[in-house]
Amino acid sequence: MLTVKAYAATSATDPLVPTTIERRDVGADDVLIAIRYAGICHSDIHTVREEWGEITFPQVVGHEIVGEVAEVGANVTAFAVGDRVGVGCMVNSCRQCENCAAGMEQYCLEGNTGTYASVDRDGTITQGGYSTHVVVDKDFVLRVPESIPYTAAAPLLCAGITTYSPLAHWNAGPGKKVAVVGMGGLGHMAVKIAAAMGAEVTVLSQGLSKKDDGLRFGAQHYYATSDPETFTTLHSTFDLVINTVSAPLDFDRFVSLLRLDGVWVNVGAPAEPVALRLFSLFTNRRSFAGSSIGGIAETQDMLDFCAEHGIAPEVELIGADQINDAYERVLASDVRYRFVIDTATL
Ligand SMILES: [Zn+2]
Ligand SMILES: [Zn+2]
């Protein structure tokens, strides 16, 4: 066992605190990663506050992880000490069900093993990336291209793949009109990726305060959803909408923006069920869908795509002592666009 520094939640209501945790010995198929940077995802906050269900404390969260390989097991040939690598939202799956066999481990029929707050194969609870080291099975380690700035790479492992996967699956590209709802951590990545894929991108945000950023990231149009005119102007317009907002929306109104065969994809979700009149889908033969992160091979494709197109998240680098403040700022949408923890400060 390796005792390593970390920042953990000790209850659903107390601030996170510095601590140490145990990492398992490096097995034959394992990679020990010296974590350099860890992104803060809204899911981290939902999890430690038990908004998505009860968890076991103390709990270290963080599923946007980049660092260097520090040690490899006997069976590991794809990675060597010093390689720049990443870990995203999952660290294992059954590897045998039809979804795993199809390379979509995120949809493992037995449930994938989450990077944190999940029961690991050895029965322990997985602990995430707000830590100096992590031990991960080689098949769930990603290669982070050198051309992606080190400090900015971490959010690609959740925010990047969560938006890349539906954009790729529903063929965002030249000739397609794509709308992105919400301009936060996920939304700003969706804009950059969809634009790089060649789609005509529109941002639908509550207000216009981030308009300059949106256009700079590659959007051609930017509309305020607080303005009723927006829904008249854009009626039956989009082939694909990526909804990154986790607050409830007036879905009938928003879905009316889809053109013939248009698809609405949710990657953010409120805790409560939502209301949607199915008649809103009959018009224009619309689809209402969801999508969850991406498979390991697809996540590697995303990283390579971002390297090739010079895409990186916009980040604000913080020290460990700023994590609790950062949580409050994430909840207040006061971050442009992702907090990343420098783990040297742990
Ligand atoms: Zn996440
Ligand atoms: Zn499976």
Q: Evaluate if residue 270 carries a pLDDT over 90.
A: no
CATH code, 33: 3.90.180.10
CATH code, 223: 3.40.50.720
33 and 108 share one domain: yes
Q: What mean pLDDT do residues 129-139 have? A: 98
What total of structural domains would you count in the chain? Answer: 2
Structure confidence at residue 339 (pLDDT): 98
Q: Evaluate if residue 102 carries a pLDDT over 90.
A: yes
pLDDT in tens, 300-344: 999 999 999 999 999 999 999 999 999 999 999 899 999 999 999
Last residue of a domain, one of 290, 313, 334: 290
- How many Å apart are CA 68 and CA 70, to the nearest integer? 6
0.85 exceeded by pTM: yes
Q: How far is the CA of 40 from the centre of ligand 1 (A)?
A: 8
Residue 264: its H or E element? strand 258-266
116 and 215 share one domain: no
233 and 273 share one domain: yes
Q: How far is the CA of 111 from the centre of ligand 2 (A)?
A: 7
Last residue of a domain, one of 290, 305, 329: 290
Structure confidence at residue 115 as a pLDDT band (50, 70, 90): very high
Structure confidence at residue 272 (pLDDT): 87
135 and 150 share one domain: yes
- Nearest 5 degrees, angle CA 339-CA 343-CA 346? 110
148 and 202 share one domain: no
Q: What percent of the chain has pLDDT over 70?
A: 100
CA atoms within 13 A on the CB side of 318: 22
135 and 206 share one domain: no
Ligand nearest, relative to CA of residue 39: 1
- How many Å apart are CA 108 and CA 101, to the nearest integer? 9
Q: Evaluate if residue 271 carries a pLDDT over 90.
A: no
272 backbone dihedrals φ, ψ, rounded to 5°: -90, 155
154 and 300 share one domain: yes
> Range of 217's domain?
163-290
Greatest Cα pair distance, the chain, in angstroms, is 62
Cis ω for the linkage preceding 337 (within 30 of 0) = yes
Task: List all residues 6 or more positions away from 71 whose beta carbon is below 8 Å from its beta carbon.
Answer: 26, 31, 32, 81
Structure confidence at residue 269 (pLDDT): 82
Last residue of a domain, one of 247, 274, 290: 290
241 and 337 share one domain: no
Q: What percent of the chain has pLDDT over 90?
A: 96
Ligand nearest, relative to CA of residue 295: 2
69 and 188 share one domain: no
Burial state string for 260-295 with b = 16 or more CB within 10 A and e = fewer than 16: eebbbbbbbeeeeeeebeeebbeebebebeebbbbb
324 and 243 share one domain: no
Ligand nearest, relative to CA of residue 338: 1
Mean of pLDDT over the chain: 97
Q: Which residue in the block uniquely carries the two structure tokens 């996540």?
A: 299
Q: How far is the CA of 106 from the centre of ligand 2 (A)?
A: 8
Structure confidence at residue 200 as a pLDDT band (50, 70, 90): very high
Contact between 306 and 159 under an 8 Å Cβ cutoff? The reply is no
Q: How far is the CA of 63 from the centre of ligand 1 (A)?
A: 6
89 and 186 share one domain: no
Ligand nearest, relative to CA of residue 98: 2
What is the DSSP pairing of strand 238-243 with strand 258-266? parallel
115 and 229 share one domain: no
- How many Å apart are CA 57 and CA 339, to the nearest integer? 23
pLDDT in tens, 58-101: 999 999 999 999 999 999 999 999 999 999 999 999 999 999 99
Q: What mean pLDDT do residues 174-182 have? A: 98
Q: Which residue in the block uniquely carries the two structure tokens 């990526």?
A: 242
